[in-house]
Chain A
């Protein structure tokens, strides 16, 4: 079975919510819809206090090309446009809406029928994806239309669908594949049309055998699309790792996947593309996993954007006793939340509760130079050395040792027998080196 060629770890999978059918979270009285995403510029509000909005109505217009539209996830009255503390820990602009009923825009097709035929041209599809505000739902939330428009001179050969879901606990993509398999395949054909490629590969880790089987069966009637089961290995969901696993091609340092002829799309994003193109439905909701060892009923939930996570947790059994840490996202790359009063955003794939005992880091000790961090690094870096140089602020050496290649997967910190905070220091060094590089480039211009 295929997998990527350098490094990697196999953390306890803990897919506690696997196989749980997607349930819908009922609407609260108020939602707070973020206008900013992790990547790209925040969108600008196009509604003001007192405006009546419907589900699917544009409320934030993209600011430039690398930005994404934001739509109302509810119907009701705009209470205010203000800042809101979000999952990233920063206060950022958001639209506060008081919910009244559940009235959708008339243009949105709410029937459950699957629209298999796509009648639109490449340009029309791109416009629809862009106006629907679709961003990468795997976590990076990069605007999808940018990814789907390769720079001049570059041509995609193959589309890779990222259905790896290598983070422990998370099962939202898995369950989506089980329930919306056909829609996802239609989404893949739409993306293939946009990219003008004949071949698409859906990469799924082999701990989701049912999804591999299910999608393989459907894929038989979709020429050019194949399903590739992958050996379970973290961080296979990393774009570069996934391309290496499937195509045996390594994206050069500092370059994007198109360099080796590949475009990678997350599976949930693919589903959102289907809905946007075939159903005229903008991105206003997504599936997320609620999980953790002490959670009574781990599950997968369809949540509208802007619903406070506290509301989602209230409806799904509350915060378990003895919780020491709440993670927005998965335990390897997610963020620990300061509280649950943050809104659901496009990139929120899950909430994981960690008990106090597991949440506390152990005391770090001397580096014993066991080299295990070097062995597991999927980018072939030397985490021990980068940490050392970061502690001493040796920025030039860090750049030379390719700190900018670090994908921040956390395999080094996870593995270190001395519990050293490798990634903390590397991240600090990486952001400083990144600033220095940008400064150098502006000076050159």
Chain B
């Protein structure tokens, strides 16, 4: 006891860390990833690996040589960006496009704003939308699910459930197929069950709270329910909307991104309702079959405003 440490209270810490939270998110993504690997085979694996490796590498290089700061790639956030970007891509997309998407996600959307915690927009979604605008054809030709296939760029393509809804006269897939993920789509968004398992894990580990995902899903269900009720021939059922496209993946994993979502339950609910409404408007009335990515990015832009004006429930008001 030669020296005593003097510091203000509290003198103990709960042991939570950035790494623990990020590891939790990665674990929660595993079920959805495995379903993607199963239905889209080798292509899904290649796209995921390329995405993760390039995200981590770009973050390292930018911190090391451009910003000249201590690299923080071990915190796991770049891995998550890589995983989420891959999960939002078709599994037959050429890998150089994946690398470009990763560069935009990490380089522009994340690091140019100051890195983890400072980015106003979800990096993975920014990367995805960058690719969608730059390469609309590659980004919207979806491989049909064929278990454990080894085809990659030459995969057979088809329509997604949402694009079927918007124009083609193909049959809408059965609900059970939507639940397990036997449908066309981005490689990580197809299985509702796998994503819900991840959601429950995140809730149990207290990594996220229920407010954002549930308010998005409830809003979408209500809004599409009203539309469907008023004109069932023109508008799909709420169940269909909930289970297709990137809605679940977006609601659980993308909209809940810490840095880009509001900081208290009230704000989170407003943000979730906003995402839900914009998603349905784009899906039902817009030019794109899918609107979750845009909806989240638009609400990302409102997050600072929400934080400023929507305060948590104060003690004694």
Kindly state the separation between the CA atoms of A384 and B17 in the bound complex, as whole angstroms. Answer: 16
**Contact partner, A405, options B12, B116, B315, Cβ 8 Å:** B315
Most chain B Cβ neighbours within 10 Å, of A9, A250, A369, A375:
A369
Q: Which residues of A contact B259 (CB under 8 A)?
A: 368-369
Q: How distant is B151 from chain A, measured CB to nearest CB, in Å?
A: 39
Q: How distant is B19 from chain A, measured CB to nearest CB, in Å?
A: 8
**Contact partner, B115, options A334, A338, A366, Cβ 8 Å:** A366
Most chain B Cβ neighbours within 10 Å, of A319, A327, A371, A378:
A371
Are A370 and B7 in contact, CB atoms less than 8 angstroms apart? Answer: no
Q: Which residues of B contact A384 (CB under 8 A)?
A: 263
Kindly state the separation between the CA atoms of A9 and B16 in the bound complex, as whole angstroms. Answer: 12
Q: Which residues of A contact B316 (CB under 8 A)?
A: 240, 250-253
Q: Which residues of A contact B315 (CB under 8 A)?
A: 6, 240, 244, 250, 253, 378-380, 405
Q: How distant is A326 from chain B, measured CB to nearest CB, in Å?
A: 6
Are B6 and A336 in contact, CB atoms less than 8 angstroms apart? Answer: yes
What are the interface flags for B15-56 relative to A under an 8 Å C-beta threshold, 1 for contact and 0 otherwise? Answer: 011101100000000000000000000000000000000000
What are the interface flags for A379-402 relative to B under an 8 Å C-beta threshold, 1 for contact and 0 otherwise? Answer: 111101100000000000000011
Q: Which residues of A contact B258 (CB under 8 A)?
A: 368-371
**Contact partner, B314, options A359, A361, A380, A385, Cβ 8 Å:** A380
Are A360 and B5 in contact, CB atoms less than 8 angstroms apart? Answer: yes
Are B1 and A319 in contact, CB atoms less than 8 angstroms apart? Answer: yes
What are the interface flags for B116-153 relative to A under an 8 Å C-beta threshold, 1 for contact and 0 otherwise? Answer: 11100000000000000000000000000000000000
Q: Is B313 an interface residue (CB 8 A)?
A: yes
Are B7 and A417 in contact, CB atoms less than 8 angstroms apart? Answer: no
Q: How distant is B314 from chain A, measured CB to nearest CB, in Å?
A: 4
Are B115 and A410 in contact, CB atoms less than 8 angstroms apart? Answer: no
Q: How distant is B199 from chain A, measured CB to nearest CB, in Å?
A: 17
In the complex, which residues 350-364 of chain A have their Cβ closer than 8 Å to any Cβ of chain B? 352, 354, 356, 358-362
Q: Which residues of B contact A327 (CB under 8 A)?
A: 11
Residue of A nearest to B208 (CB): A370
Q: Which residues of A contact B12 (CB under 8 A)?
A: 11-12, 168, 331-332, 354, 358, 414
**Contact partner, B117, options A361, A368, A414, Cβ 8 Å:** A368
Q: Which residues of A contact B10 (CB under 8 A)?
A: 331-333, 410, 413-414, 423
Q: Which residues of B contact A402 (CB under 8 A)?
A: 314
Are B314 and A362 in contact, CB atoms less than 8 angstroms apart? Answer: no
What are the interface flags for A317-333 relative to B under an 8 Å C-beta threshold, 1 for contact and 0 otherwise? Answer: 00100011111000111
Kindly state the separation between the CA atoms of A299 and B10 in the bound complex, as whole angstroms. Answer: 22
Q: Is A367 an interface residue (CB 8 A)?
A: yes
Are A339 and B117 in contact, CB atoms less than 8 angstroms apart? Answer: no
Q: Is B287 an interface residue (CB 8 A)?
A: no
Q: Is B166 an interface residue (CB 8 A)?
A: no
Residue of A nearest to B114 (CB): A366
The range of chain B's interface size is 35 or more
Are A332 and B9 in contact, CB atoms less than 8 angstroms apart? Answer: yes
What are the interface flags for A160-201 relative to B under an 8 Å C-beta threshold, 1 for contact and 0 otherwise? Answer: 000000001000000000000000000000000000000000
Are B18 and A324 in contact, CB atoms less than 8 angstroms apart? Answer: no
Q: Which residues of A contact B118 (CB under 8 A)?
A: 366
Q: Is A372 an interface residue (CB 8 A)?
A: yes
Kindly state the separation between the CA atoms of A339 and B20 in the bound complex, as whole angstroms. Answer: 36
Q: Is B63 an interface residue (CB 8 A)?
A: no
Most chain A Cβ neighbours within 10 Å, of B10, B16, B20:
B10
> Could you show 12 A-B contacts with beta carbons less than 8 Å apart?
A336-B11, A365-B75, A368-B258, A369-B117, A371-B258, A374-B264, A382-B264, A402-B314, A410-B9, A416-B16, A417-B18, A419-B17
Are A419 and B11 in contact, CB atoms less than 8 angstroms apart? Answer: no
Q: Is A216 an interface residue (CB 8 A)?
A: no
Given A374-B312, A380-B312, A417-B18, also A335-B9 (CB < 8 A): yes
In the complex, which residues 134-155 of chain A have their Cβ closer than 8 Å to any Cβ of chain B? none
Q: How distant is A394 from chain B, measured CB to nearest CB, in Å?
A: 13
Are B9 and A381 in contact, CB atoms less than 8 angstroms apart? Answer: no
Q: Is A213 an interface residue (CB 8 A)?
A: no
**Contact partner, A370, options B6, B21, B72, Cβ 8 Å:** B21
Q: Is A432 an interface residue (CB 8 A)?
A: no
Kindly state the separation between the CA atoms of A338 and B307 in the bound complex, as whole angstroms. Answer: 41
Q: Is B209 an interface residue (CB 8 A)?
A: yes
Kindly state the separation between the CA atoms of A417 and B11 in the bound complex, as whole angstroms. Answer: 15
Are A6 and B209 in contact, CB atoms less than 8 angstroms apart? Answer: no
Are A325 and B5 in contact, CB atoms less than 8 angstroms apart? Answer: yes
Kindly state the separation between the CA atoms of A244 and B18 in the bound complex, as whole angstroms. Answer: 33
Are A325 and B263 in contact, CB atoms less than 8 angstroms apart? Answer: no
Are A381 and B314 in contact, CB atoms less than 8 angstroms apart? Answer: yes
Are A339 and B4 in contact, CB atoms less than 8 angstroms apart? Answer: yes
What are the interface flags for B47-77 relative to A under an 8 Å C-beta threshold, 1 for contact and 0 otherwise? Answer: 0000000000000000000000000100101
Q: Is A415 an interface residue (CB 8 A)?
A: yes
What are the interface flags for A406-445 relative to B under an 8 Å C-beta threshold, 1 for contact and 0 otherwise? Answer: 0010100111111100011001000000000000000000
Are A361 and B7 in contact, CB atoms less than 8 angstroms apart? Answer: yes
